Structure 1
Amino acid sequence: MNKDFEEINVEWSLVIRPKTSWFDWQIADIWRYRDLLMLFVRRDFVSAYKQTILGPLWYLIQPLLTTVMFIVVFDRVAQIPTDGAPPALFYLSGLVIWNYFSTCLTKTSVTFSANSGIFGKVYFPRLIMPISNIISALIGFGIQLMLLFVLLLYFYFFVGVQFSLNIYLLALPFLLLLVASLGLGFGIIISSLTTKYRDLANLIGFGTQLLMYATPVIYPLSFFEGKYRSLIMINPLTPIIEMFRFSILGVGEFQVSSLLYTIIFTIVSLFIGILIFNKIEKSFMDVV
């Protein structure tokens, strides 16, 4: 009886094997678990505002209040120029891109520590978790982008401000891909390092805030010259925000060469991030 049972050929639908190399990414498994990916996306969105009074309205309130603060501090008090664009639109156009990046970065950077309970109980491709954070953050970006276009229509019809929407607006999906890849790359690098160095988690919020001031969110690139301008250009987000502003407001200093630098920087950072993430995920349960 046992012999007959052993001779039965069983075709398994899924075989779980340990990863043996840095480049064993098992990308096909991510597609196989796409239903789980969408469940995580739904969970992230619902849990974020499940027990709040205003719910998803916070997606609108936060950028609006931040824009008002920027107008008071940087436009009225500091009198930093906005390249001729209305300050509200100038600041909000930068915040829309920046908020998406910071959300991707902060959520992804706690992938291991925030989900250690799930990772220790059931198998699924671990990259699904940070990817779900990237996709769920798109919901907030979409709501804030709608707010930006509503303000654009208001300034156009009621204030009489003229805008020069151009063909570069069609590149918005590509810009979003770059922002998401940057947030994913840096986020999984930080998440992998914090499994051993816990104090790095305390620097995420502070470091993200500092990075915003090194990004042309509250000032135009033309505001700087010389070495300070060069330092701002090192930031890979600078060409993205400048190109986005140029596509909807007609202001900014967009150059194809600078965007090429961002593309290369993004590919390298994402590649390194996945390599480190792939290596750490095999043993992180022993140190978390």
Structure 2
Amino acid sequence: MADPNPTGIDAYKPSEIYALVDQAGAQKARIRMPQLLALSLLAGVFIALGAAAYTMVMTGTDMSFGPARFLGGIVFSLGLILVIVAGAELFTGNALLVIAVVEKLVSPGQLLRNWSIVYIGNFAGAILIAGLVWASGLLNAGLGETAIGIAESKAALGMTEAFARAILCNILVCLAVWLSLAARSAAGKILTIVWPIASFVLLGLEHSIANMYFFPQAMLAGAAVDWTDFGQNLFIVTLGNVAGGAGGVAFAYRLAYGNSESHLDIVNDQKII
């Protein structure tokens, strides 16, 4: 019997990943409302847990110091690892659903339904964890000052800066999702997720769902930021995340593999998060 992996690399090829993303978009469009809300809430919880762990790692360190930020990024990767391996619906990763729309497997209305429900669920999950961290007393144990510093630095960004950082951020997040689909094992998925996510944190980029946790956490800790600051940041960062994921990664791979032979017959058991 011929070796299915003659190169020794046990991973799907890029064109096969494209087919996985394509099929997964159709699957996501059919998710029932209760299930979609539950998975969206979980994703918000998972990203917030990664953000809370990041905040603790950065406590007592120089937040502008590269090695410390890279370590924080590795810890923050917990969020997307949980989303991908445990299973959840994350708004920023779902920017890749645009591929299924272009391939006419999903309608624009179905795309907007998914994005809106997932966004709301992610927000609820992030707020829930922010409230639990505050109730736990962790914000009074050194974590609060770090939380304040993180949010105030984000609020100080100009619109152009925040938008550009959000584009770059979701390019890396969607590439992490894309790479995770190449892996056939949980360990492989984890290894492919860590490096893009750690890199976006190291670079100080902007992730809308993470900010749904960072700003409420800081406000509960007594930061000089308010809901207006939060709303302005979230609006521009969300637009940038969509541009980076849908207009960047999804569009680029549509140009590269959109006309290639489909591989759906070998990937029917796969899902994208």
TM-score normalised over the length of structure 1: 0.37
TM-score normalised over the length of structure 2: 0.39
Quick check: which has more Rg, 1 or 2?
A: 1
User: Relative contact order (alpha carbons < 8 A, sep ≥ 6): 1 or 2 greater?
Assistant: 2
